[in-house]
Structures are given as structure tokens and as C-alpha cells.
Amino acid sequence: MQVSEIGVGAWQLGGPLVLDGKADGHPELGRDFCINLIRQCGDLGINFVDTAEQYGRGESERRVGEALKGQRGKWILSTKFGNQVGPNGERLRDASPARVPVSLEGSLKRLQTDYLDVYVYHISPEPGEAEQVVEFLLAAKQKGQVRAVGISTSSVEDVEFLHSLGCLDVVQFPHSMVSPPDPIVDFLAKHNAGGVVRGAFAGGRLCGKYFHQPPKFSPDDIRSNARVEEITTDFARHAVFEELLTPERGMVQLALRWLLDEPTTHVIIPGGKSLDDYRQAIRATELPALTPAEKARIEELKTGLLA
């Protein structure tokens, strides 16, 4: 599957979501706005979109499905199973052999399609259950309902376990310029699996907007569990990377270009909320690779941050 280097992350396009009494922090951008944004991203050359049955309690999938109507064949469509939202907004974690067929049927219906390009675990697979789930997923591949399978995780153990069951084509994982050495990257390189990168800006630390003014979260925001002082200090520390910026390469482009230079990065899903966000991201794909000296300097600065 040929994917664009930048993809659409559709969590934030599903409207507000409350999980266990905490808001996920994403505002309602408007159903029509989100549908048009995805289509406009397609006009920019983006062909990968990622969602999940959990996002917006299924609303993200519905909007993605509407956006892709009439042009499904132009897109690589990825969604996830395992995380659901209960009737009272509680988190449900269920990737059992009984649940996954229901999840797949629901996602296909909401997305208005008869096949998924990528279908991945949204939680850790459970030994004793995963073997039966893998059997179902491999059968779904044979039927043409699913083209590729895998997992969204930060655990290399999860990745290795699914690989041992013969059920790993794609890994979605958090990775950024300031991430410590990640064994998932080594795994992808060794096994030639697809790499979908999320968290490219390290929770906003690398987007540049908050170097000199910290973000503000409402009390019920799921991200507000850290004290304001800690957030302010943490975000400001990352301003050390400003020395590497140029008129052509802002902080967004620097963070993305670093990831794009890694051979295991096949597509990055930055989760933008506007067309300009995606234009800024695409600019990174048009820039030359970072020089060895620039990469070495980034490593020096990163070492200082991680110390």
C-alpha cells in the first residue's frame, strides 16, 4: 500500500468525547467542517486517514465515511478496535473473540465501506484470547474485509507477541524527535513492517506554540492532571530547538522532518484541526533531509532534555 508521508488523524474530528468523566479536550469543530477538511486534505495529496471506533463514540468514523464517499479507492483507511465508550461515558476495553467481529461490522457500517485497508488493536492483546482474534482477523483478510492488520501501542512486547502469532503488518506508535531510543523502531526495521507515527509533537512540546506561553486546559480536560507550573516548565524547556529553525523550516517542519528522515516512518498522523495545519505538515515533506551536523546537534539537545 502506497501511503502519503502525512496522514489525517481523525480523533479530534469526531467531536467532544467524555471518558470516565474527563473530556478529551477536543472541541466540536462541526460535522460539515470535519468532512470537508478530510476532503480538502485529499486534494493536497494526503491519502491516509486514521480513526477508531472509540473516537467520538463512533462519530469520527461516521464523518470519515461521509468524507470518503465517492472516492474510497483513493484512500488508505485505518481504524482500531478494542477501546469502546460505555453508555455512561465509561471506558470499555474489550478485544475478545466475541467482541471483535461486532466491532468490525460496526466500523464497516459507520465508514460506509465493505473493506478496511488497516485494522489494528487499540489495546494490548490478551494471551488466551488473541489467538482466536488473530484467527478471525486472518480470515477477514482472506475474505477481503481487511487488507492489513496490526496494533497501535507503545509496547514492543505487544508488537512481538502479535508478530509471533503471524498477525502484524502495521504498527502505529508514539514517536518524536525527543523520544528516547525506541525498540519498536528497531523492530520495524528488522521485520519491514509498516510504521504509522503519532505523537510527532510530543504532546504539543515540539509544535513551537507553547515555548513561551503554556497551553491552558479546562479543569475537566483529560490533559489537566499535571500542575500548571510543571506544564509551563516542561514546554519552555523545549525552546532549545529554536536555534535550528530557519526562515523555510519552522518548528513544525523540524519535528516532522526529523521523523521523515527515519526509514521506518511511512506515514505521520499529526492530528491537525485546520487545513493550514496540514499545509504546514506537508511543507516538511518538501524540505531536504536534515544534515548530519543538524542531527548531531538535535541529539545533544535531546540528551540534555532527557537527563
- Flag the least confident range among 18-27, 204-213, 260-269: 18-27
Rounded Cα distance between 159 and 91, Å, is: 23
Residue 224: predicted pLDDT: 58
- Top-confidence residue, 226 or 199: 199
Residue 154: predicted pLDDT: 97
pLDDT tens, residue by residue, 148-194: 999 999 999 999 999 999 999 999 999 999 999 999 999 999 999 99
Residue 264, sorted as left (phi over 0), alpha (psi -120 to 50) or beta, turns out to be: alpha
Residue 275 in this model has a pLDDT that exceeds 90:
yes
Burial of residue 133 (CB within 10 Å: 0-12, 13-18, 19+) is buried
Mean pLDDT within 62-88: 96
Question: Which is nearest to 22 in space by CA: 70, 90, 87, 83?
Answer: 90
Residue 225 in this model has a pLDDT that exceeds 70:
no
How far from 265 is each of 16, 18, 164, 246, CA to CA, in Å? Answer: 29, 31, 22, 24
Q: Could you tell me if 120 and 170 are in contact, meaning their C-beta atoms sit under 8 angstroms apart?
A: yes
Residue 226 in this model has a pLDDT that exceeds 80:
no
Q: Torsion angle, CA of 97/98/102/105, rounded to 10 degrees? A: 50
Q: Torsion angle, CA of 63/69/74/75, rounded to 10 degrees? A: 20
Name residues whose C-beta falls within 8 Å of residue 119's C-beta, 6 or more positions apart in sequence.
78, 79, 80, 81, 104, 107, 137, 140, 146, 148, 149
Name residues whose C-beta falls within 8 Å of residue 294's C-beta, 6 or more positions apart in sequence.
244
* Residue 222 binned pLDDT confidence (cut-offs 50, 70, 90): low
* Residue 213 binned pLDDT confidence (cut-offs 50, 70, 90): confident
Residue 217: predicted pLDDT: 65
Residue 47: predicted pLDDT: 98
Residue 28: predicted pLDDT: 86
Residue 67: predicted pLDDT: 98
Mean pLDDT within 197-222: 82
Q: What is the mean pLDDT of the chain?
A: 93
Residue 25: predicted pLDDT: 65
Name residues whose C-beta falls within 8 Å of residue 252's C-beta, 6 or more positions apart in sequence.
201, 207, 208, 280, 281, 283, 284
pLDDT tens, residue by residue, 13-67: 998 877 777 776 677 899 999 999 999 999 999 999 999 999 999 999 999 999 9
> Domain 8-306, what architecture?
Alpha-Beta Barrel (3.20)
Mean pLDDT within 215-242: 73
Residue 227 in this model has a pLDDT that exceeds 70:
no
Q: Could you tell me if 201 and 207 are in contact, meaning their C-beta atoms sit under 8 angstroms apart?
A: yes
Residue 78 in this model has a pLDDT that exceeds 90:
yes
- pLDDT over 70, % of the chain: 95
Residue 57, sorted as left (phi over 0), alpha (psi -120 to 50) or beta, turns out to be: left
Q: Where are the domains of the chain?
A: 8-306
How far from 154 is each of 63, 84, 158, 273, 276, CA to CA, in Å? Answer: 27, 19, 8, 24, 29
Cell of 145: 474485509
Residue 19: predicted pLDDT: 78
Residue 223 in this model has a pLDDT that exceeds 60:
no
Query: Around Cβ 170, how many Cβ atoms within 10 Å?
Result: 24
DSSP E strand stretches across 225-290 = 267-268
Residue 261: predicted pLDDT: 98
Cell of 88: 455512561
Residue 258: predicted pLDDT: 98
Mean pLDDT within 229-235: 75
Residue 298 in this model has a pLDDT that exceeds 80:
yes
Residue 92: predicted pLDDT: 93
What pTM does this model have?
0.92
Residue 212: predicted pLDDT: 87
Rounded Cα distance between 203 and 199, Å, is: 6
